[in-house]
Structures are given as structure tokens and as C-alpha cells.
Amino acid sequence: MNIIKMTQSHIKQVAQIESLCFSHPWSEESIYDSFINPCNRFYISVEENKVVGYIGLSVIVDEGYILNVAVHPHCQGKGIGKALVKTVDDFAVENNLAFVTLEVRPSNEKAVSLYESFGFTKVGERKDYYSNPKENALLLTKYYNSKKE
Ligand SMILES: CC(C)(COP(=O)(O)OP(=O)(O)OC[C@H]1O[C@@H](n2cnc3c(N)ncnc32)[C@H](O)[C@@H]1OP(=O)(O)O)[C@@H](O)C(=O)NCCC(=O)NCCS
């Protein structure tokens, strides 16, 4: 699995995956704006020189927030999502993050079980967070107990 840091040249392909995966996809411009934010880092999975998935993480001091993760529909179910979440999980350990958190639709069973397999657990719910279709968000968090006494 070839996972590398995203560069500006990958943004167009990431936006294409967004549009295939979400009812409210991020535009190329909003991905670019997020990409140049120094708090954020994006990783992509590449196969035969094509971007097949990506994950975005925002880091503020020792707190991580997963912005988004998506795998091209033709490439799902092959372990790419798992490899992308592992990249963020490894980053959290290596950089002593206290926790990583994210929102997800409860109906998104694939994504929920992917996160749960890494030790993320439900810490709350945000009412009517999503639209089209309207749905609450599950707030999932993994704590790392990384602080040394
Ligand atoms: C969610 C998503 C990123 C997972 O990526 P993927 O490459 O398809 O997932 P993987 O092949 O790495 O599978 C990882 C885990 O996901 C879960 N999973 C995958 N397919 C599943 C399915 N059909 N049903 C339930 N769980 C499933 C399992 O826990 C699996 O681990 P396992 O293989 O050890 O059982 C991908 O389906 C996707 O892009 N979906 C659309 C966008 C999206 O919903 N993003 C999440 C927003 S929070």
C-alpha cells in the first residue's frame, strides 16, 4: 500500500473522489484552502500513479481531528481505508497526541466499523449535523494516554 503526503498536484483527483463519495463534496477550492492551512495534513493512497483514497487530519496542539477519509468507489473493500486510518493512528502515537476525534453518520456502517476497529468509541452525538439526508453525527474519539508523567 503506497501512502504518501498529498501535494497540491493531487488536489484535483482528491476532489473527484470527494464528488463520487459524498452528497456534499468538498470542492477543489475548499480542499486547497484546507491543504494550505498549516494545522492540516493530508495523506493519499496511490495506485499506478492515480490517487485512490485520502485522509485529512487537523492537529491543534495535541488534539487531532479527522477532517475526512474516502476511497474511490472502485477501490473500496481492499484495505485502503484501513491503511489511511492507520497512517493517522501512527501519526498520533509518534506525535504524542492526547486524542483523535471525528464525526460520522451512524448509518455509515463501513466507516463506523473501520474506526471502531482502531479503538475509536462513541463519546457523543450532534443532532441533525448532516443534511441530504438529515442525520445526527456520531462523535467518535480515540484517546492515546500518550502523556508521560
Ligand atoms: C469508509 C471507507 C473510507 C472505508 O474504506 P475501504 O478501503 O473501503 O475500507 P477497507 O477495505 O480498508 O476496510 C476497512 C474496514 O472497514 C470495515 N468495512 C469495510 N467494508 C465493510 C462493509 N461492507 N461492511 C461493514 N464494514 C466494512 C471493516 O471494519 C473493515 O475492516 P476488516 O476488513 O478488517 O473487516 C470507504 O468505504 C469510503 O470511502 N466510503 C465513502 C466515504 C465515506 O463514507 N467516508 C467516511 C466519512 S466519515
Which of 65, 80, 110, 117 to mutate for ligand 1's pocket (most ligand atoms within 8 Å of CB)?
Answer: 110
* pTM to 2 decimal places: 0.95
Determine the 3-state secondary structure of 65 from DSSP. Answer: strand
Distance 149 CA to ligand 1 centre (A): 36
DSSP 23: S
Over the chain, what is the mean pLDDT?
95
Residues with CB under 6 A from ligand 1: 21, 69-71, 76-82, 104, 108-111, 113-114, 117
- How far the first Cα of the chain sits from its last, in Å, is 36
* Ligand 1 atom 25, closest CA: 110
pLDDT tens for residues 72-122? 999 999 999 999 999 999 999 999 999 999 999 999 999 999 999 999 999
CATH of segment(s) 2-143: 3.40.630.30
Q: Are 35 and 22 in contact (CB under 8 A)?
A: no
146 falls in which pLDDT band (50, 70, 90)?
low
Give residue limits of the domains in the chain: 2-143
Q: Which atom of ligand 1 is nearest to the CA of 83?
A: 12
Distance 81 CA to ligand 1 centre (A): 6
Q: Residue 1's pLDDT is what?
A: 79
Alpha carbon separation from 71 to 56, 66, 136, 143, 144 (Å, rounded): 12, 15, 23, 25, 26
